[in-house]
């Protein structure tokens, strides 16, 4: 593996580490902040907001029931006027309409009569299962209770009853009164809490039994899940607000509790952590994909840049910077391969070795800049006239070497002659030095027992022979 590949691998590793690492760190930080926000602000504030909603929607009916149980008219009617059923019916009707509740009721302990806004409904009896709530309520110590019940006289609907005991001035038990609220109304309220706050809301009694929960949310409504949570053991059923973290069905939850004294119920607000971190997870994957995409682009840019610089470096290492022809080192490698091929396939190959005549005089008379332009023009002529399958090299200074493939001595001699005439007659060269630019050539072909040194030596001898015989000539050496 070369140095370039090592650099690319290291840079790729660093970029991936940085992009993935920064995405993970940002995600973890955001996750921690979200959970902290949920525990310290969202849940406490939400439970207070929900408690306010509960006060408006549940506590008001409780206060109405309490007011009814302490109403002197109702007490006097039970003691003195129970035979006047119309009077109590109007009273219950007015309470029902004033506070927009589903039903109002009164049960007289003395007669066992059950009254509603429509009048006498029935007599409560201990052997009637539908009346069991009354006798159970009468025996408890608390002055009120909240329960859920199906009542066949109320359309067999699930109703939440808020029951209050009635006592005379001497604290003798007179009966029970209260109101009923359709649980569908409560269910909509709890559903609203879930939709608006993304919290599950439910109520339990002191034993941890669920009294109220959203009808559609069956999972939270199962008492067995409350047992899994073990509310009493974890201290959730205390009068103070409490926050508990736990797992259920493999998911993390945070639970906040508040005791509602007026209802004698515990308010629970449960948050599924994943619901609050889902957007963070989406953002994390989005940022990760963007980071990987940007990283891929950067890596491609680096690869492209390295490749281009590598090409430039290779060209600088193998080509003459002035003429852009192969330099001596690069040409020698090609020369060596060609000699090996010649010895194997016997295809004729030749070289042309030439030197620009009087080049020092050109530099002295016209300056080195003109001399450089002469060399560039010579290179341009060579590129135009020499085949792509052949190789051209600036051998050094004003010397050039050409290797011709599939070309014997006579063919190469003709090529050299053509080049000599092209230099001599080129308008570009004549414009640079105001006189013909000539060159002397030595031409030789490969032999069976040749080495590179032997071939160049023969071509060099031809070159010097051309120089010594008056320049601007081509000499071939066998």
Q: To 10 degrees, the CA torsion angle through 48, 39, 191, 221?
A: -110
- Which one of 214, 270, 398, 445 is the catalytic residue? 398
pLDDT for res 437:
93
| Mean per-residue pLDDT, 87-103 | 92
Helix (H, G, I), strand (E, B) or coil at 428: helix
- Give the CATH fold of the 328-477 domain: Alpha-Beta Plaits (3.30.70)
At residue 183 the predicted structure's pLDDT band, cuts being 50, 70 and 90, is low
Which CATH code fits 65-180? 3.30.450.20
pLDDT for res 459:
95
* Contacts of residue 256, Cβ cutoff 8 Å, sequence gap at least 6: 43, 44, 46, 47, 241, 242, 243, 244, 268, 269, 271
Q: In whole angstroms, how far apart are CA 183 and each of 8, 160, 266, 285?
A: 68, 6, 18, 43
Q: Is the pLDDT of residue 206 over 80?
A: no
Same fold, 65-180 and 328-477: no
**Side-chain half-sphere of 130: how many Cα atoms within 13 Å?**
11
Q: Is the pLDDT of residue 250 over 70?
A: yes
pLDDT for res 221:
47
Least confident window among 258-267, 361-370, 391-400, 465-474? 258-267
Helix (H, G, I), strand (E, B) or coil at 473: coil
pLDDT for res 27:
80
At residue 163 the predicted structure's pLDDT band, cuts being 50, 70 and 90, is very high
The mean predicted confidence, pLDDT, of the chain is 85
Chain-centroid distance of CA 18 in Å reads 15
Structure tokens at 30: 């955001």
At residue 49 the predicted structure's pLDDT band, cuts being 50, 70 and 90, is confident
Sheet holding 119-123, edge to edge: 119-123, 113-116, 103-108, 173-182, 157-167, 144-151
Q: Which position has the token pair 């159970």? A: 136
37 is catalytic: no
Give the pLDDT confidence of 311-366 residue by residue, as tens digits.
776 666 678 889 989 888 888 889 999 999 999 999 999 999 999 999 999 999 99
| Stronger pLDDT, 373 or 297, i.e. the higher one | 373
Contact 212, 229 (CB under 8 A): no
At residue 30 the predicted structure's pLDDT band, cuts being 50, 70 and 90, is confident
Per cent of the chain over pLDDT 70 is: 88
pLDDT for res 223:
44
How far apart (Å, rounded) are the C-alpha atoms in residues 188 and 214? 8
- Strand 265-272 to strand 251-260: parallel, antiparallel, or no bridges (unpaired)? antiparallel
Per cent of the chain over pLDDT 90 is: 46
Q: Is the pLDDT of residue 466 over 50?
A: yes
| Ranges of each domain in the chain | 65-180, 328-477
Contact 475, 351 (CB under 8 A): no
Q: Is the pLDDT of residue 234 over 80?
A: no
Neighbours of 53 (CB within 10 A): 16
């Amino acid at each position: 593996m070369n140095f370039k590949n090592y650099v690319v691998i290291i840079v790729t590793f660093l970029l991936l580490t940085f992009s993935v690492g920064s995405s993970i760190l940002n995600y973890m930080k955001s996750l921690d902040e979200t959970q902290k926000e949920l525990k310290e602000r969202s849940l406490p504030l939400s439970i207070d907001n929900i408690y306010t909603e509960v006060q408006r929607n549940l506590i008001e009916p409780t206060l109405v029931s309490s007011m009814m149980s302490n109403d002197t008219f109702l007490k006097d009617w039970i003691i003195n006027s129970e035979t006047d059923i119309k009077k109590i019916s109007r009273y219950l009707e007015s309470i029902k309409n004033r506070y927009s509740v589903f039903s109002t009721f009164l049960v007289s302990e003395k007669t066992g009569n059950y009254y509603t806004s429509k009048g006498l409904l029935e007599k409560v009896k201990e052997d009637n299962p539908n009346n069991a709530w009354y006798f159970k309520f009468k025996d408890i110590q608390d002055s009120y209770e909240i329960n859920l019940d199906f009542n066949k006289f109320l359309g067999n609907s699930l109703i939440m009853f808020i029951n209050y005991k009635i006592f005379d001035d001497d604290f003798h038990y007179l009966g029970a009164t209260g109101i009923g609220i359709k649980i569908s109304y409560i269910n909509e309220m709890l559903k609203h809490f879930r939709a608006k706050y993304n919290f599950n809301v439910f109520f339990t009694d002191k034993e941890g039994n669920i009294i109220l929960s959203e009808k559609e949310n069956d999972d939270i409504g199962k008492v067995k899940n409350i047992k899994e949570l073990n509310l009493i053991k974890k201290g959730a059923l205390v009068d103070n607000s409490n926050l508990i973290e736990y797992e259920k069905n493999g998911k993390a939850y945070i639970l906040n509790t508040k005791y509602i004294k007026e209802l004698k119920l515990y308010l629970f607000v449960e948050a599924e952590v994943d619901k609050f971190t889902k957007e963070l997870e989406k953002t994390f994957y989005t940022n990760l994909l963007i980071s990987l995409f940007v990283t891929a682009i950067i890596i491609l840019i680096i690869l492209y840049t390295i490749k281009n610089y590598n090409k430039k470096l290779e060209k600088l290492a193998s080509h003459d910077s002035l003429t852009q022809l192969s330099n001596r080192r690069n040409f020698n490698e090609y020369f060596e391969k060609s000699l090996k091929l010649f010895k194997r396939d016997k295809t004729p190959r030749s070289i042309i070795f030439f030197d620009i005549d009087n080049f020092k005089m050109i530099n002295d008379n016209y300056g080195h800049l003109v001399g450089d332009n002469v060399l560039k023009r010579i290179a341009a002529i060579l590129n135009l006239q020499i085949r792509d399958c052949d190789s051209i090299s600036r051998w050094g200074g004003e010397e050039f070497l050409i290797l011709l493939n599939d070309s014997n001595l006579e063919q190469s001699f003709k090529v050299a002659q053509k080049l000599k005439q092209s230099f001599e007659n080129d308008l570009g060269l004549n414009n640079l030095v105001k006189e013909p630019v000539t060159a002397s050539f030595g031409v030789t072909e490969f032999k069976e027992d040749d080495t590179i040194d032997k071939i160049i030596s023969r071509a060099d001898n031809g070159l010097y022979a051309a120089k010594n015989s008056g320049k601007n000539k081509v000499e071939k050496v066998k």
